[in-house]
């Protein structure tokens, strides 16, 4: 039986698993692999982001929308809603591999919202 997310260690497990999938994905891996120079540092920032997002900590500093616009520009404005759909499906798969419960569902809900905002910012910036 799977448990619900309870703490930063759970977020860490989820984020590491998810980005292992991302790095290997033929359709969206290039956006990440070509843009991220220091994976360890980036993963720590993403763990901070999702911990703040789910548990309302103050650990994250950054602006995901600006970062996504920059990545899109670096890839000739080629990121589409299709790519965000792949990202979201991989995120859901990763959650479901390890967790279930209220917090897992909240994390899916938050990811749906999260995937919309950078996508809109990308198109606004073009």
Q: What's the mean pLDDT in 32-60?
A: 95
Could you give the CA distance from residue 51 to residue 45 in angstroms, rounded to a whole number? 10
Domain carrying residue 110: 8-125
Q: How remote is the C-alpha of 49 from its chain's centroid?
A: 9
The answer to the question of residue 36 being in a domain is yes
Has this prediction a pTM greater than 0.85? yes
Which runs of consecutive H residues, i.e. helices, occur in 1-126? 8-24, 29-33, 39-55, 64-74, 81-98, 102-125
pLDDT above 90 (res 5)? yes
The domain tally of the chain equals 1
The answer to the question of residue 3 being in a domain is no
Distances (CA, A) of 117 to 29, 40, 124: 20, 25, 11
Structure confidence at residue 10 as a pLDDT band (50, 70, 90): very high
Task: Read off the CATH number of the domain in which 41 is found.
Answer: 1.10.490.10
The answer to the question of residue 100 being in a domain is yes
The answer to the question of residue 42 being in a domain is yes
Q: What pLDDT shows up at residue 26?
A: 97
Q: Are the C-beta atoms of residues 54 and 106 closer than 8 Å to each other?
A: yes
The answer to the question of residue 52 being in a domain is yes
Q: What pLDDT shows up at residue 118?
A: 83
């Amino acid at each position: 039986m799977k448990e619900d997310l309870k703490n930063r260690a759970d977020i860490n497990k989820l984020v590491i698993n998810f980005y292992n999938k991302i790095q290997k994905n033929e359709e969206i891996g290039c956006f990440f692999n070509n843009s991220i120079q220091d994976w360890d540092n980036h993963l720590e920032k993403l763990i901070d982001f999702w911990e703040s997002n789910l548990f309302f900590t103050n650990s994250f500093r950054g602006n995901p929308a600006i970062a996504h616009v920059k990545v899109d520009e670096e890839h000739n404005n080629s990121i589409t809603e299709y790519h965000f759909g792949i990202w979201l499906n991989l995120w859901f798969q990763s959650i479901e591999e390890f967790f279930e419960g209220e917090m897992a569902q909240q994390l899916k809900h938050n990811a749906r919202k999260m995937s919309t905002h950078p996508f809109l910012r990308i198109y606004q910036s073009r």
